[in-house]
Chain A
Amino acid sequence: MKSIDRRQFLKATAVISTVATVLPDVSNAADSSKAVIYVVHGRDITKMVAAGMEKLGGWAKFVKKGQKVTLKPNVAWISKPEQGADTDPVLVSECVKACKTAGASEVVVPEKSVNDWKQSFGSSGVLEAVNRAGGRMYALTEDKYFRKTDFPDAKILKQADVAIDVLDTGCLVNMPIAKSHSGTTLTLGMKNWMGSVKDRQFWHRNKLHQCIADCCTVIKPVLTIMDATRIMLTKGPRGPGEMERPDLLIFGTDPVAVDAYSATLFKKEPFSIEYIKIAHDMGLGCGDLSHVDVVKIEA
């Protein structure tokens, strides 16, 4: 047998080590079972969105030309952007614009506010932002906006009325804001879908955490963009509470991984948030951060 000589050995070692150290992203991305999230730090939301989406392969990868895009920010409360109860209006308008540019036929933003919707849409500045960017935001106030939907893989929430625009869309993007929550400790991405169903109260009566996970068996966003530019540490979900500025946007295709990482911003163990644990165990995504690639980007 021909043995490799020293020169060949050195060459091979150099190549392998270069590949291993310089291109870790490539090797991990190739491993499709492993979730990747992109954590973008910065002060300019426009730049941050651009940087995050570039890493994800651009909007064109998610938005199909001529199809509808549905965005779901959290605009549940009467609150100013500084108060951090509603998703930042600049973030929403950036995404609406980008989706339009990527060829979306229309961008809709349906929301079922907890507070009076007019006051919430107005004070948060999101309605104005969406209008300006050329999207259409509306309140889920009438029965006609919902469709009874079965959740075959759910444990408790076997059926619910879900917003039709959330079900029938070419591209569903979740745009929650991370904040403390009196009922579930933290409200993150998965819990944001409570603003897309008609009967929230059922969830509270029947194991809220399980219902949140159950909901994610059917509502599957292609992308989650977590607003963690400001986070409300106390008195959530409405506030005004104690605020912190991590200046982060978290991008990911795995909703559970995005929530798990967001929990760490509040110095919480991801699995201490019950719905993250349940969703992980149900196989809806990866909540174990040791199995998630966290790519940090400066923008």
Chain B
Amino acid sequence: MRLTIRIIFLLLAAVFALQVIPRVVERKLESESLRNGGTGIISSDTVTGRSLALLLPALSPFSGIASAAARQSLGWVFLLGLPVFIMAILKGRWFCFHLCPTGFIAELAGKLRPEVKSRFVSMPRFNELLLFLALGSALFGYPLFIWLDPLCIFNGFFSVWHTPVTMVSLLPAIGLILIVALSIYRPNAWCYRICPLGISQELLGKAWRHIHSRKELASTQVEEGHKPELGLGRRLFISLIAGGVTGLAARNIVGKQYSIRPPGAIAEDKFTAVCIRCGNCVRACPKKIIFPDTGQSGIAGILTPVLRFDPEYCAEWCNECTKVCPTGAISRISLQAKNNIAMGTAVVAKQHCLAWENGQSCMVCDEYCPYHAIKVIKNDEVLCPEVDPEICRGCGFCQAGCPAETKAIVVQGKPQRTLPHVNLQGT
């Protein structure tokens, strides 16, 4: 029975992670429209259940609480973690045993070597440290290690199929691969010694029982072989402080650099922490311009979403990526609000520009720009482009369309900000 539930949940999780449901719904709507003599084109604001993708990673109260604390705001997505939270209080690791897809995979991997019996016990309890560091740093806006949440590791795995398979595109799968490798080497080590979601459930359960009976807690601690002189409270206190200090330091270091993030991304000094690398936005983008970063934005930014504008751009009719973020690293915003956000600013490199450098009549950037952010400058009777940074959204259409050998107009990352509205459809 337990096995059946686990298999069903694993498959369900994969279906959600791969965003199968919205795809099926869209295909159905398309064929329905064609059958009724329509065009088979469904408008982007049709409800197709794109947001369902955030369901699986949002189930984790660990990443939910840590990210909410870091953002200092609560949304309804946060509430999705409540069932697991309540079950943890009542039944400890209930989610681990019955549903967790990563745990299931780790368990199966562990069974590959039945002769090895629970060698994890010799490992230190990294999970407690990781959990407390995460909570401590979350209070300072930079939650460390929440990307170790097993649900986002599972979810992120499916970004592998998004792009043509290369060594770099395999990177999102590395989390799950490492867990499998570790579990073969040391069965159960992931679940009982590293996984921060596992330990948070365990501690919640223990805390509940502790309230009822102090004695029970003491006995379990002795059972699991803890040193009684360094109690949970002190460990908690020390690692919370350590987490806070590390988080604050990390925030100041990584916040200095600007990558081009999906529209609605929170401030860069929190983004690399609040983003759990679940890969939802990467897979939701119909233009396929969101990529898991492979290190260009520093070590802290590995696997966070970055935008690349060749050959596509951030379409003015789309806000799909803002609908699927489970931790609010990308805010849920309307299409209009999204179109008013500047993700960066395009900059003309005159030395590569066909108009500025070669005197050609080009102006493709101006032609393509949905927001009319290109100012036309006359240079020796040739029309040349210049960017108005007060209008440019950094959508990258100019960069995608630039016909020069070396792109002469390139979007550069900047802190995101909201610009005055531009009417795209006329009156």
B-chain residues with CB within 8 Å of residue A208 when the two chains form the complex: 360-362
With an 8 A cutoff between CB atoms, is A149 at the interface? no
Q: Is B367 within 8 A of A182, CB to CB?
A: yes
Q: Is A237 within 8 A of B367, CB to CB?
A: yes
A-chain residues with CB within 8 Å of residue B403 when the two chains form the complex: 200-205
Q: Is B361 within 8 A of A184, CB to CB?
A: yes
Q: Which of A182, A237, A240, A274 has the most CB of B within 10 A?
A: A182
Q: Please tell me which one of the listed residues B38, B41, B364 contacts residue A204 in the complex, with CB atoms under 8 A apart.
A: B364
Chain A proximity of B420: nearest CB distance (Å): 16
In the complex where A82-B426, A201-B403, A205-B403 touch, is A183 in contact with B38 (Cβ < 8 A)? no
Q: How far is the CA of A238 from the CA of B372 in the complex (A)?
A: 9
Q: Mark B359-395, 1 if CB is under 8 A from A, else 0.
A: 0111110111010101010000001000000000000
Q: How far is the CA of A207 from the CA of B355 in the complex (A)?
A: 11
Q: How far is the CA of A111 from the CA of B317 in the complex (A)?
A: 20
Within 8 A of B (CB), among A256-299: 274
With an 8 A cutoff between CB atoms, is B423 at the interface? yes
A-chain residues with CB within 8 Å of residue B39 when the two chains form the complex: 121-122, 127-128, 131
Within 8 A of B (CB), among A108-138: 114, 116, 118-119, 121-122, 127-128, 131-132
Q: Please tell me which one of the listed residues A183, A202, A241 contacts residue B361 in the complex, with CB atoms under 8 A apart.
A: A183
Among residues of A, the one whose C-beta sits closest to the C-beta of B355 is: A183
With an 8 A cutoff between CB atoms, is B354 at the interface? yes
Chain A proximity of B319: nearest CB distance (Å): 14
B-chain residues with CB within 8 Å of residue A237 when the two chains form the complex: 367
B-chain residues with CB within 8 Å of residue A204 when the two chains form the complex: 354, 360, 362, 364, 403
B-chain residues with CB within 8 Å of residue A202 when the two chains form the complex: 403
A-chain residues with CB within 8 Å of residue B368 when the two chains form the complex: 114, 238
Q: Is B376 within 8 A of A182, CB to CB?
A: yes
Within 8 A of A (CB), among B386-427: 401, 403-405, 423-427
Chain A proximity of B376: nearest CB distance (Å): 7
Q: Is B41 within 8 A of A118, CB to CB?
A: yes
Q: Which of A203, A206, A207, A238 has the most CB of B within 10 A?
A: A238
Q: How far is the CA of A181 from the CA of B426 in the complex (A)?
A: 17
Q: How far is the CA of A106 from the CA of B404 in the complex (A)?
A: 39
A-chain residues with CB within 8 Å of residue B44 when the two chains form the complex: 119
Q: Is B41 within 8 A of A207, CB to CB?
A: no
Chain A proximity of B30: nearest CB distance (Å): 10
Beyond A131-B37, A202-B403, 6 additional pairs, beta carbon < 8 A: A116-B317, A182-B383, A183-B364, A183-B367, A237-B367, A240-B427
For the complex of A and B, list the 3 residue pairs with the smallest distance between their C-beta atoms, beginning with the closest.
A240-B426, A201-B403, A204-B403
